[in-house]
Structure 1
Amino acid sequence: MDTTLTDPLVGKLLDGRYRVESRIARGGMATVYLALDIRLDRMVAVKVMHRTLAEDPAFVRRFIGEAKSVASLSHPNVVHVFDQGTDGGNVYLSMEYVPGRTLRDVLRARGRFPAREALEVMIPVLAALGAAHQAGMVHRDVKPENVLIADDGRVKVVDFGLARAIEATNQTRTGVMIGTIGYMSPEQVTSGAADARSDVYAAGIMLFELLTGRQPYEGDTPMSVAYRHVHDTVPVPSALLPGSHPLLDTLVAQATARDPAGRPADATAMLVAAVDAHRMLPRESGPVPAVPAAPVPAGPAAATQVHPAAPAPGPVNQTLIQPRADLLTGPAGGQAPPAAPAAPAAPKERRRPRARWFLIGLAVVMVIAVGVTGWLFSQDTSIKVPYLIGQNATLAATEAKQRGFVVEEGKAENDEKVPKGNVLRTEPTSGTEVEPGTKLIIIASAGPKRVAVPNVVGLSAPDARVKLAEAGLVPGSVRRQASDTVPRDQVMRTSPAVGNPVKEGSKVNLVVSAGLVMPDVKGMPRDQADQTLRTAGFVPEFVEQVDAAQPCTVIAQDPQPNTEVDKGAVVRLTLSQCANPEWHWPWENGQNPNDPGQNVIVIPNIVFKDVKAARQELQTAGMRVKVKKALGRGVVVAQIPAGGQPVPPGTEVTIWH
């Protein structure tokens, strides 16, 4: 059964941004998925931590901190970290997707590497580790599984900082060591301490494995392997692969010294040694063939014979092969040569000088040939790609041309950190050894990418969100606001405003029209309710019913107050009966407003006055005031009882604004 089909995350939208397409790999601490970033429309690798880790708060805190550090590490041989987040119980990293295989997969498929090819893998690995060490970071888990070989041959290191985050969890130490014990330095095994030299040790073990096809230590249990790391000295490659070049033995021995003080200080120091070794290796990158010893003839003369030996490093004119001593100086030990058949003495004396000079000449020719061959092999015409990152692209191109490269300018790429016009990266990468005249592509930074906020005014909120996402922006909050000019549910404006240049991935908030808000006209006299609604853009319709309330006032309305409605909507108002014979003004019940003895007050007419001033005027006149919101514009649009009517002191007057 295809396990991808049963994986619950496949086909899901993680954190509202990453659509999980398929599962790439599953390890002891995380599962890696191929996903589409729907915001930026690019494929990414999403590493989702296993639930046992994600449920540990200490791990999550450390994981987030490490992710931020790794995201700041920009190097062509480091898998870039784009994003980190959580979605429910899923804690994840979004990373650069590198199509290809791990170095472990390549080792399983093809076995050990020739010497030069092994170094050509290790050099970019060491460059990545060196950049991390200079930034104060330690990988802690260098191994072939964490080295990616892209389909186009690029080498990338992944999982910086993950091992450090694991240290904060409640997982047992043994559980973490099982997968990486073959590459752990002695100090990591004994104390758990790790620094840049611990990464150097692991890199040395990995170089040993590339050269020989196996790890230096094997055991039935992880602890038996750990014991050997602590107490044994890592063998040199030639111990398993006779004839391996001494330079490689030296490089592995220095990197895997049990005492950290005996190793290169960091990966950059080991990188320098690896580049030098690569430069001095012969073009035939396989192991140096062992030179079999010549058979030694029996008898006394054997003691005087000198045979060729395997070449050792030294001056190119050093004599590596010498003539046989017995042919130059005669038999050793004073012994006479075996008797020969009788022959005239004179011819024998004539042949010996001729043979001697012939052999001497032959020896001289051999010495010259060996010297010339050594000189040819010692000449390395290759050149290294200089480190140009961050330099002015024009000056960098001039420098590269002076070093013998054919320079080509690549298409500039946006970058938030490297200033516009400076070198962002080169192809091939810095430190790569190439032939003179090789084409070097210099890719400059186009500076930070800025996106103009698209015009979404007049669109619906869903359509506006889609258009923002297509422009590489993140739709933010949506706020509704009443408007008598913009139809309901259409975008009125954005924040930042339309046309403003913003950083890609920035959040843009929307203000959407709520249309008109239905005023509250309950209790308002008919004429004033009619005027208020028509002023606001509505069409009022009135229905009367018998009611004991004050005559001709609104007792019900549909739609209800504060409802969002469109301009021109019909409002159905129910009125109390406008002609109510049983309702009387106060003076019609024995009170005379013109009688000085009667205590009555004439209500001021405060319609169209500022609501605060109107309230103050009514209260000064001895009225109680109730304020209701109709249009909400701060100006009185209606009052009841109406102005000019005599009422007893303390009468409540309701005003609408």
Structure 2
Amino acid sequence: MDTTTADPLVGRLLDGRYRIESRIARGGMATVYLALDVRLDRTVALKVMHRSLAEDPAFVRRFIGEAKSVASLSHPNVVHVFDQGTDTDVVYLSMEYVPGKTLRDTLRDRGRLPAREALEIMIPVLAALGAAHQAGMVHRDVKPENVLLTDDGRVKVVDFGLARAIEATNQTRTGVMIGTIGYMSPEQVMTGGADVRSDVYAAGIMLFELVTGQQPYDGETPMSVAYRHVHDTVPPPSSVVPEVPPLIDTLVTHATARSPDDRPADATAMLVAAVDAHRMLPRTTTPPAHTRTSGAHSMPYSAPSSRPGTAPLQMPQAAANHTLIQPREEVPARRAGFRPNWFLVALAVVMVVAVALTGWYFSQATYVPVPDLVGKDLAVAQKAATTSGFKVKTAPGENDEKIAEGLVLRTDPGRNVELERGAVLTLVPSLGPKRVLVPNVEGMTEPEARTAVAKAGLDVNRVSRLANQGVERGKVIRTSPEVGEKVKEGSKVNIYVSAGLVMPDVGGMPKDEAANYLQTQGFQVQVNEVDDDAEPCTVIAQTPKAKSEVDQGAQAMITVARCQTDFWDWFKGDNEARDDQEFQLVPSVVGKNVNDARNELQGLGFKVQVRKLTKDGVVRFQRPAGNSERPPGATVVLWQ
């Protein structure tokens, strides 16, 4: 039979707003439906309380109050509550619909999880519980069924405040336990009371189950499990699965202490410890469990099956995980009517004493956890380790980019590993960041310099050639960073090699200026005049060619157009000047910034060409010379 179609609420429009599409799950206190909010046109999860609860005015009042409190709890790891309301005999809660699966589904599909994965689920759960605890709320029913793993990898906690609302019902006024037996703290079993430390206890049980694949206690009835929560100490997970790391054992043991005062103060305190443990666990390549969903959308809520006021006679695994409303009077301290065999009692006492004495004897070999000494001054760390009962050995230092010289880089064994008192603890000091000196390669050839830089543990980044009269062509002038500077190993070094003399481009320059400039640059200059149509006394050719690299003192020959005695005759002939032609005086711009000179000349109507001799941006020479006349549009050449 299709239970969805048989459900009378399917198809109904609640409160004129929520059209119920289908039933997702049914639990002991509520049924959850997939519904459409027709007012906002969005899909929601609608939790409808069972009629036995909805008919209780005390429950309805408390339910509405708790719904308002939960709705104010805004946290990314809490399923949001949108609305609450009543429609005749229906009391409902409108919540965020979260496609995905419950943590219980994941455990059922995969079994136990690796420690790191388990913490990656517990951390957001604890963050959600911590936010609730800070707001003065207690969940009271933390379990895998109430943790959702969404299809996009998020973790969400549901059902805040529901258990507290149940406490107001007529069914519970004589005193009951409310929660899920498998995760119920000793104080919940004994008194029915719960505070933030009760949620911490349940979170510890859940972490135990995640890494072992089972709960710490089982039994034929719920009360036998409850009895063990009160009278037994939760074992470390490694007693069930030996490969569980000690860090997880410590977390579980602290969270599940029988006395609430011995547990973390709240979920935030446990969260800090869980994050610290996750940071210290080795990384694995296995993706988190909640990112490998099967693709099926399952229930975004808990799905308990036991009805209020009932308890199963047997304890299959599923029943142990259902939210339970159980009379506290049924939790026995011992079986009624039992008549002890005093011989067996005496024998048991003797055995207990013997075991205790044996444990005391072997406990004399005290084990001490390695303290956290990383980052401490070496002398301080040595003293602290000795005080803790270790023999201290100092290993050779090692370089490290983060830990300064003289501080402890690491210990062997590492932090929190338990060693017998008197065992050797090795401290490895840091030598600080490794730095190397930039070698002196000045005067070397480029290949020699590359070899020297590589031997120093550095890399050559760029080689640049610079004109330099003082250093032989092909030899290194300098480096950047400079010689002797301390740099990180593997750093890049720039090398600057002498290009010797570089023949400048003096084409078109007046003869005297060109010859004088080349001499100042270290050239032996020879001038050769020839007949040519070019402007008289200007360079028309040069040897070596412009930008050629030559050795110091090299010969340079410039060929110039013959210097005519009547320059004006040449100028008129070259320009076919007419008597009515207008001329413009060319100003002298030598010594000015080349950009300012260009703008000045162009403003007078001249064309400007700029040729580079240096990089200082100052005009060194010009042609035609300053204060000479040229027609509008004539070209003025500037050398900078």
Question: Structure 2-normalised TM-score?
Answer: 0.45
Question: Structure 1-normalised TM-score?
Answer: 0.44
* Structure showing greater relative contact order (alpha-carbon pairs closer than 8 Å, 6 or more residues apart): 2
